[in-house]
Amino acid sequence: MTPSQLDRACTLFLDLDGTLLEIAATPDSVVVPSDLPRLLGGLHLLLGGALAIVTGRSVEAVDALLTPFVGSVAGEHGAVLRHYDGRVEDTVGARSVPLLWRESLRVGAEHWPGVLVERKPHGVAVHYRLAPQRGGDVQRAVRALVRPDHRRFRLFEAHAAVEIGPRAASKGRAVERLMADPPFHGRRPLFIGDDETDEAGMAAARALGGEGLLVAEAFDGEPAAVRAWLARGVEVLARRPPPDLAPASGP
């Protein structure tokens, strides 16, 4: 699959780990290329602000990684949205993983060297990339806490990690919510992601007349190829005048 060329009528929804950044052994050991914040800033400017990071990380973690770039963010799989105007919206209310569950996973991980428990404002993720042989133990532990039909919480599967988070959180709903307001409204959405947690976001982009691109298929599984494509997009966009994006008529 060859990605479409960027144009000024696009809006970009970009996953972070595995899409813009290479997957690392632990969440804290990711390496942010020195030119990535500037690249995102250039795209943000050329697209009139219609760019959002859509990730499992918290909004605060995104800001820490991408400083000085600041833009729209859907954090924790859409549990928290930061809109273009800086307004922060908690889409799941005060719903967060019970302390008892967090503690149970922390205690379990003490017996599994290499397994890391990452606490988030609304959820908790368990990473086993450093101990792949413990993947089965981790899966059994989280599934013992969260039944498939649990009303309030569900599991988010990722690369060598599994997360418990609010059922109401969804990257697809985050895309729909952001697309309802300027500067996203009226544009063609393009969502780029790399794993199962991104599928809802890609489906939402397609349903809204855009595209969903999987890194493995469109970029040979390489975040560096995603960044290179975005850099070429900056060059193309800089040569094209902004479009007339008058709001669509109708209810």
Q: Supply the residues annotated as catalytic.
A: 15
**E strand intervals along the chain:** 10-14, 51-54, 72-75, 80-82, 88-90, 116-119, 124-127, 153-158, 161-166, 188-193, 211-214
For residues 98 and 108, give the distance between their C-alpha atoms in angstroms, rounded to a whole number.
16
For residues 216 and 194, give the distance between their C-alpha atoms in angstroms, rounded to a whole number.
7
For residues 85 and 97, give the distance between their C-alpha atoms in angstroms, rounded to a whole number.
29
For residues 239 and 34, give the distance between their C-alpha atoms in angstroms, rounded to a whole number.
25
